[in-house]
Amino acid sequence: MAVIALRQQETAAMLAGTAGAAAENYSSTFVANTPDRGVITGKEMVEFLKSRTVSYDAIEQTIEYAGAHGDDIVVIMGVEMVVPGAGMPNAGQRVQRRFTDIFRKENEIWRHDLRHANVVKVE
C-alpha cells in the first residue's frame, strides 16, 4: 500500500532529522496533536523538524489497522514505541503511544492529512 510506504518515509525523515522528505508528504491541511504543544500545522511541524525541536532517537510502529475509507481516504491505527531526542519531554526514555494517521488524496497524490498520538506509558 502506497500510504504505508509514505508513512515509512516520514518516520525515516524524523529519525534522520531531515524535514524535506516529510514536508513533501503533508497535505495542505495537515494537522497533528503533540504531547506538549497542542495542535500544530504541517508548516509548523516542518519547522520543528528543521530546527530539531522535534527529534527521535528511535521509532518502532506496529500497525493494527490500515484501510481505505472510500477512494481518497486511508486510515492507519496502531501502537508505537518512541525514544524522544535531547530537549524533548521524556528524552531518552521509551514512550509508548497509540496513534491514528489519516491520509487523503490531494490532486491525485496521497498526502498525510491528520495525526493523533497519545502517550500510554513512559518506561
Predicted confidence (pLDDT) per residue in 8-47, tens digit: 888 888 888 776 666 778 899 999 998 666 899 988 888 8
**In the predicted structure, residue 54 carries a pLDDT above the cut 80:** no
DSSP state of 17: T
pLDDT attached to residue 37 = 67
Burial (CB < 10 A; 0-12, 13-18, 19+), residue 30, is: buried
CATH number of the domain within which 63 lies: 3.10.450.50
% of the chain residues with pLDDT over 70: 93
* Contact indicator for 18, 59 with CB cutoff of 8 Å: no
pTM recorded for the entire structure:
0.88
Residue 78 domain boundaries: 2-122
Tally of domains in the chain: 1
C-beta neighbour count of 89 within 10 angstroms:
13
